[in-house]
Amino acid sequence: MLNASLSLNPDYVIAPVRRRLFGSFVEHMGRCVYTGIYEPGHPTADEDGFRGDVLELTREMGVELVRYPGGNFVSGYRWEDGVGPVAQRPVRRELAWHSLETNEVGVDEFVRWARKADVEVMYAVNLGTRGVAEALDVHEYMNHEGGTQLSDLRRENGSEKPHGVKLWCLGNELDGPWQLGHKTAHEYGRLAAETARALRQAEPDLELVACGSSSSSMPTFGEWESTVLELAYEEVDHISLHAYYEVLDGDVDSFLASAADMDHFIDSVVATADAVGARLKSKKKITLSFDEWNVWYMKRFQAEARTEWEVAPRVIEDQYDVTDAVVVGNLLISLLRHSDRVAVACQAQLVNVIAPIRSEPGGPAWRQTTFHPFALTSRLARGKVLRVETTSPTYSTKRFGDVPVVDSVATHDEETGDTVVFVVNRHRSEPVDLRVALAAFGDVEVAEAWTVHDPDGSATNTESDPDRVVPQPQTATIADGDLHVVLPPVSWTAVRLTPTS
Q: How far is CA 274 from CA 192, 230, 238, 277, 281, in A?
A: 19, 11, 12, 5, 10
- The 444-452 sheet, strands edge to edge: 13-16, 384-386, 406-412, 419-425, 491-499, 444-452, 472-473
Q: How far apart are CA 22 and CA 451, in angstroms?
A: 20
Which phi and psi angles does 124 have, rounded to 5°? Answer: -105, 130
Query: What's 17-55 look like in SS3?
Result: CCHHHCEEECCCCCCCCECCCECCCCCCECCCCEEHHHH
Burial state string for 230-261 with b = 16 or more CB within 10 A and e = fewer than 16: ebbbebbbbbbbbbbbbbeeeebbbbbbbbbb
Contacts for 196-204: CB closer than 8 Å, 24+ residues apart: 196/170, 196/232, 196/235, 196/236, 197/235, 198/132, 198/135, 198/136, 199/135, 199/136, 199/139, 199/168, 200/235, 202/136, 202/139, 202/140, 202/143, 202/144, 203/139, 203/143
Q: Which of 266, 295, 311, 247 is nearest to 29 (CA)?
A: 311
Is 27 labeled as catalytic in the residue annotation?
A: no
Scanning 62-131, the segments in alpha helix (DSSP H) are 107-117
- The 482-487 sheet, strands edge to edge: 389-391, 2-7, 432-437, 482-487, 476-479
Residue 381 C-alpha from the chain's centroid: 16
Is 292 labeled as catalytic in the residue annotation?
A: yes
Give yes or no for a contact between 69 and 124, defined as CB atoms under 8 angstroms apart.
Answer: yes
Q: How far apart are CA 73 and CA 428, in angstroms?
A: 38
For residue 140, give the 3-state DSSP assignment.
Answer: helix
Task: Please compute, for residue 442, the number of CA atoms within 13 A of its CA located in the half-sphere on the CB side.
Answer: 10
DSSP 59: H
Choose the catalytic residue: 64, 173, 194, 235: 173
Which phi and psi angles does 166 have, rounded to 5°? Answer: -105, -20
Q: How far apart are CA 287 and CA 75, in angstroms?
A: 24
Question: Which residues carry out catalysis?
Answer: 173, 292
